[in-house]
């Protein structure tokens, strides 16, 4: 639900002074809605939750994001506002079904287009490694909508791993996707040289883990990093991201092609950018 719709939904319970404080939108994941509520509207949070619950078709629970995503597992702090007190739900996207518990795992519906975009890039017979796989969204979408030989789906959050195993079964891709629990750096040592394509959809760790990402690749292949760009103009975000990533890529590989795409805004003058690169490894890894 976009901000314009949220404003109209809340117009008759908020004053004209309060309406400008309404957040940018509401994330709907399965039958759960999550909204950010600014401090100025804190005292109205349950009233806002009840109104959204009554107006949003199919929504059974409303939560507010009470804390930003934690470093590492990126799980958001959430607080119940209205409806059923359940944080587990079933989310559907691009023909796939994902069971998630939003109090235990990271999940964003705002990456829907990006997940489909990456799946379209995968050629028949590729081996794909997803280094920060969460509950398996990118991995399973690739398995269902492309024809990879295999997808290795890595995450160090035990709850995310458990849901990834469940989601592979729900989507009948157990023979294609292998969920692995643990640090991607460790698996790079064990599985180095197997991948045609590597995904790194965790902006906080993408640069740090880039040498391991390259290590996963065969002699050459594709790598997709996601980074956060802070400050500057929206139009310059992609250029800034490439300038940030390129020197790190060149430390361990020959960059044959590189491009970027603005994925979304994630705060005031803060942007998430996808950087796609075709690289050739240098020396032994």
Domain map of the chain by residue range? 3-86, 92-281
* pLDDT value, residue 99: 97
* pLDDT value, residue 168: 98
Please tell me the distance from the alpha carbon of residue 27 to that of residue 6, in angstroms, as a whole number: 11
Note the pTM of the prediction, 2 decimals: 0.92
User: Average pLDDT for residues 38-50, to the nearest whole number?
Assistant: 90
pLDDT digits (tens, 9 = 90+) for 105-144: 989 898 999 999 999 999 999 999 999 999 999 999 999 9
**Given its phi and psi angles, is residue 219 left (phi above 0), alpha (psi -120 to 50 degrees) or beta?**
alpha
pLDDT digits (tens, 9 = 90+) for 51-61: 999 999 999 99
User: Residue 73: pLDDT band by 50, 70, 90 thresholds?
Assistant: low
- Chain mean pLDDT for the chain: 92
Q: In the predicted model, is pLDDT for residue 284 greater than 60?
A: no
SS (H, E, C) the chain: CEHHHHHHHHCCCCCCCCHHHCCCEEEEECCEEEECCCHHHHHHHHHHHHHHHHHCCCCCEEEEEEECCCCCCCCCEEEEEEECCCCEEEEEECCEEEEEECCCCCCCHHHHHHHHHHHHHCCCCCEEEECCCCCCHHHHHHHHHCCCCEEEEEECCHHHHHHHHHHHHHCCCCCCEEEEECCHHHHHHHHCCCEEEEEECCCCCCCCCHHHHHHHEEEEEEEEEEEEEECCCHHHHHHHHHHHHHHHHHHHEEEEEEEEEEEEEEECCEEEEEEEEEEEECCCC
Q: Scanning the structure block, which residue is given the tokens 């909508």?
A: 145
The alpha carbon of 148 is separated from its chain's Cα centroid by a whole number of angstroms, namely 21
Same fold, 3-86 and 92-281: no
The two beta strands, 195-200 and 127-130, are parallel
- Fold of the domain built from segment(s) 92-281: Rossmann fold (3.40.50)
* pLDDT value, residue 285: 42
CATH architecture designation of domain 3-86: 2-Layer Sandwich (3.30)
pLDDT digits (tens, 9 = 90+) for 154-209: 999 999 999 999 999 999 999 999 999 999 999 999 998 999 999 999 999 999 99
* pLDDT value, residue 214: 97
* pLDDT value, residue 21: 83
* pLDDT value, residue 71: 62
* pLDDT value, residue 130: 98
């Amino acid at each position: 639900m976009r901000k314009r719709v949220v404003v109209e939904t809340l117009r008759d319970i908020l004053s004209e002074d309060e309406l400008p404080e309404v957040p940018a939108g509401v994330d709907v994941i399965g039958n759960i809605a999550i909204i950010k509520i600014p401090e100025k509207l804190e005292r109205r949070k349950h009233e806002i939750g009840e109104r959204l619950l009554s107006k949003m078709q199919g929504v059974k629970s409303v939560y507010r994001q009470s804390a930003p995503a934690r470093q590492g597992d990126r799980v958001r702090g959430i607080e119940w506002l209205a409806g059923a007190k359940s944080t587990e739900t079933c989310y559907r996207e691009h023909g796939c079904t994902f069971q998630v518990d939003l109090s235990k795992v990271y999940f964003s519906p705002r990456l829907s287009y990006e997940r489909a975009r990456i799946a379209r890039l995968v050629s028949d017979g590729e081996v794909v490694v997803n280094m920060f796989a969460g509950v398996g969204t990118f991995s399973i979408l690739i398995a269902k909508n492309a024809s990879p030989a295999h997808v290795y789906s890595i995450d160090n959050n035990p709850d995310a791993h458990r849901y990834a195993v469940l989601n592979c079964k729900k989507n009948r891709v157990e023979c294609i996707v292998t969920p692995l629990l643990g640090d991607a750096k460790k698996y790079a040592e064990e599985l180095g040289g197997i991948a045609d394509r590597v995904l790194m959809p965790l902006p906080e760790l993408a640069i740090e883990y880039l040498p391991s990402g390259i290590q996963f690749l065969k002699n050459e292949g594709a790598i997709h990093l996601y980074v956060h760009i802070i400050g500057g103009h929206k139009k310059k975000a992609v250029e800034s991201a490439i300038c940030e990533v390129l020197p790190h890529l060149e430390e361990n590989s020959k960059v044959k092609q590189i491009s970027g795409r603005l994925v979304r805004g994630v705060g005031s003058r803060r942007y998430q950018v996808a950087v796609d690169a075709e690289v050739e490894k240098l020396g032994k890894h």
